[in-house]
Structure 1
Amino acid sequence: MIAHILKSRETILLAAILALLAIIAARFPAFVAPSNLINVFNDTSTLILLALGQMVVILTRCIDLSVAANLALTGMVVAMLNTVAPGVPIVAILGLAVALGTLMGAVNGLLVWKLEIPPIVVTLGTMTIYRGIIFLISDGKWINAHEMSAGFKDFPRAVVLGLPVLSWIAIAAVLAFVVLLGRTPPGRAFYAVGGNPRAAVYTGIDVGRTQFLAFVLSGALAGLTGYLWVSRFAVAYVDIAGGFELQVVAACVIGGVSIAGGIGSVGGALLGALFLGVINNALPVVNISPFWQLAISGSAIIVAVAFNARASRSKGRVILKSAEHTA
């Protein structure tokens, strides 16, 4: 039992994060101060939210490359609404953001489910469409801090029990997904569809409907993150979160979520996001250009996929050897 825990992806990743923090602290002790670690977690909260949604999609053997565009479009819509109607309650804005994100996720899911278009093609297409819609509705203009109401900007920054609201939302989402994937029929269906779609059909699971639900969840979280992102940074524009979908996929893959589907955990996705969050926050501290973030994320994806593939091959050999002995 203890040996299994020590060899698990989550334990290895946690050890890597602690080792990384130790290396950084050796030269910059202030980086591991509690106040700064809280800031690092808060900065990573948006990545955590998107990684949770992406994880569910990947579990079903799909991928959602439109999450960052979904975030950007939702953020622009709620920012524009705030400029013309600053009195709209935050609860209503949150509801609109989630609803709009859910709608965009449902579009992806329906195209994959009903038209059987490959998910990567669907989400590449909708990613471009959503970015284009942002330009059309905003005329390419920015919405800046002075155009947003104080309540709109202050909500994710408000501190409750020592943590910003944004961090509490990420924590709540993690707990909700632990329950969803571990205690509910839809959660078990995500794993079943990704693990063996044909067997899932024989057990009465609708593969297309399950994949549709995964895209809906991913879209809802992307919509929520759209408001949180725009309000926290107090700016909305066409290219907001450009390329962020790569970091979202990287967080999942680094956390042990298999691109082949059916394998992954909430803890792994969380640690994968935190690993990237620590790296991204540490780069400026050690005087490395932030433009290296994308290169690091891409490299991490390749290494993690190779690691997963090697682990899968090893398991396959063990099964074959067992069969030979029994024969």
Structure 2
Amino acid sequence: MTMTAPTPAPPAEASPERGARLVDRVFKMRELAILLVFLVMIGVTQAGNSEFLSEQGIKDLLLNATILVLVATGQALVVITRNVDLSVGSTLGISAFAAGLYLQDGGSGLVAVLLAVAIGIGFGLLNGLLVSLGQVPALVVTLGMMYVIRGIDSIWVGSRQITAADLPDGFNDFGSGGLGAVPWLALIALVVLVATAYYLKQFSSGRELYALGSNPEAARLAGIPVRRRTLVAYTVCGALAGLAGAMYLARFGNVDSATGTGYELTVVSAVVVGGVVFTGGSGSVYGAALGALLLTSIGSVLPALGVSSVWVLAINGTLLLLAIAVDRVVALRVASALKKRNARNG
């Protein structure tokens, strides 16, 4: 009698792929939820203060968010790889002063911006080398770099201060100008945001950042150049922090040795609130930008409603804790869903 071998059951789809898609859907819903909260908050504020969404009001809202959106975009790349950069605030400050000093001496605005970006690239590259090649924990490296840069900035700047009167009129006008209610600075931030999101989605090197953040050892075994990708993430993060420094100078026209102090914590909060998981591998730069927009808008909404601005930090901290709690709940539910699917598929 001829025995026919049973047809093997089709292999179940790999759990990591199913998990990645499930997590992706969850965090897209979270980004939509953040957008909804933002729109409701703006709507309530407009109902209580009819002047809030005037042309100047919208312009101020966008300008307040622009710098944080830029730095949060770079920070998101680093956090996606399961790392962090706590030196972005110091990089922003020293880049802004360098650009201002160059402009004060009669330099051109474009070269000043390029100078700020180059300084950011230098510090980002140094962070990336220490983390990727030196195998030093990112928290330790960037915390130390934060103090090093701040120390250099304090010694170099001293008691000096750059004001708008020291800068060319064209540079100041660019910082406050725009197309109607949309500032030039916001358009630059939008271009950077869209370009970064496109890179993460369409380029294999961008998608590899997620694989690296999900499981560094598995990424290494799969042939992904882990050190190179980490180095790129930190370099881009530094470059965007430097660009943000130049935009800070154009926006406020006032830079001293304390510029950017404490900014790194606000950036990390924006990224985490925006759905980029602090343990890496999930989230998007659009979510980070929405988190930045939400946090900066709170500072504008409260005074418009007659609420003291001292509540801003408390609200930001609450949002951060809620975001971390949501991340934990999502992780547990995804793990549970995958176990059930695996059990059904044998």
Q: State TM-score, norm by structure 1.
A: 0.93
Aligned match of 2:177: 158
Matches within 5 A, 1:240-319: 240-319=259-338
Is 1:8 the counterpart of 2:37? The answer is: no
Q: Report the Cα offset of residue 31 of structure 1.
A: 1.3
Deviates more, 1:107-116 or 1:281-290: 281-290
**Whole-Å Cα distance in 1 between the matches of residues 181 and 109 of structure 2?**
21
Contact residue 247 and residue 294 of structure 1 kept, 8 A: no
Paired letter, 1:22: G
SS at match of 1:228: helix
Aligned match of 2:4: none
Contact residue 256 and residue 268 of structure 1 kept, 8 A: yes
Q: CA RMSD in A?
A: 1.8
**Whole-Å Cα distance in 1 between the matches of residues 234 and 298 of structure 2?**
28
Structure 2 vs 1, CA of residues 97 and 306 (structure 1 numbering), >3 Å: closer, same or farther?
Answer: same
| Cα shift readout 1:223-246 (whole Å, capped 9, x = no counterpart) | 011011022211111111221212
Is 1:113 the counterpart of 2:132? The answer is: yes
**Whole-Å Cα distance in 1 between the matches of residues 50 and 180 of structure 2?**
25
SS at match of 2:52: helix
SS at match of 2:51: helix
Aligned match of 2:59: 38
**Whole-Å Cα distance in 2 between the matches of residues 181 and 80 of structure 1?**
35
Structure 2 vs 1, CA of residues 5 and 306 (structure 1 numbering), >3 Å: closer, same or farther?
Answer: closer
**Whole-Å Cα distance in 2 between the matches of residues 37 and 91 of structure 1?**
27
Aligned match of 2:231: 212
Structure 2 vs 1, CA of residues 177 and 119 (structure 1 numbering), >3 Å: closer, same or farther?
Answer: same
Q: Report the Cα offset of residue 204 of structure 1.
A: 1.6
**Whole-Å Cα distance in 2 between the matches of residues 162 and 288 of structure 1?**
25
Contact residue 100 and residue 162 of structure 2 kept, 8 A: yes
SS at match of 1:241: coil
Q: Report the Cα offset of residue 169 of structure 1.
A: 0.5
Give the share of equivalent positions with the same residue, in percent.
34
* Unaligned segments of structure 1, at least 5 residues: none
| Cα shift readout 1:172-214 (whole Å, capped 9, x = no counterpart) | 1111112111111221111110112122112221112111111
Count residues with an aligned counterpart.
Answer: 322
Q: 1:73 aligns with which of 88, 91, 94?
A: 94
Q: Report the Cα offset of residue 324 of structure 1.
A: 2.9
Paired letter, 1:249: V
Aligned match of 2:48: 27
Aligned match of 1:57: 78
Q: Report the Cα offset of residue 162 of structure 1.
A: 5.0
Contact residue 124 and residue 236 of structure 2 kept, 8 A: yes
**Whole-Å Cα distance in 1 between the matches of residues 36 and 289 of structure 2?**
14
Matches within 5 A, 1:138-177: 138-160=157-179, 163-177=182-196
| Cα shift readout 1:89-119 (whole Å, capped 9, x = no counterpart) | 2111111111111101111111101111111
**Whole-Å Cα distance in 1 between the matches of residues 232 and 27 of structure 2?**
34
Paired letter, 2:67: T
* Unaligned segments of structure 2, at least 5 residues: 1-24
**Whole-Å Cα distance in 2 between the matches of residues 95 and 125 of structure 1?**
26
Paired letter, 1:140: S
Q: Report the Cα offset of residue 42 of structure 1.
A: 2.0
Structure 2 vs 1, CA of residues 295 and 140 (structure 1 numbering), >3 Å: closer, same or farther?
Answer: farther
Paired letter, 1:26: A
Paired letter, 2:136: I
| Cα shift readout 1:212-265 (whole Å, capped 9, x = no counterpart) | 111100100000110110222111111112212122111111111000101011
Q: Report the Cα offset of residue 32 of structure 1.
A: 2.8
Paired letter, 1:295: A
**Whole-Å Cα distance in 2 between the matches of residues 204 and 285 of structure 1?**
53
Matches within 5 A, 1:189-204: 189-204=208-223
Deviates more, 1:138-147 or 1:121-130: 138-147
**Whole-Å Cα distance in 1 between the matches of residues 53 and 164 of structure 2?**
30
**Whole-Å Cα distance in 2 between the matches of residues 208 and 162 of structure 1?**
43
**Whole-Å Cα distance in 1 between the matches of residues 28 and 114 of structure 2?**
42
Q: 2:113 aligns with which of 84, 91, 94?
A: 94
Is 1:136 the counterpart of 2:170? The answer is: no
Paired letter, 2:96: G
**Whole-Å Cα distance in 1 between the matches of residues 93 and 28 of structure 2?**
39
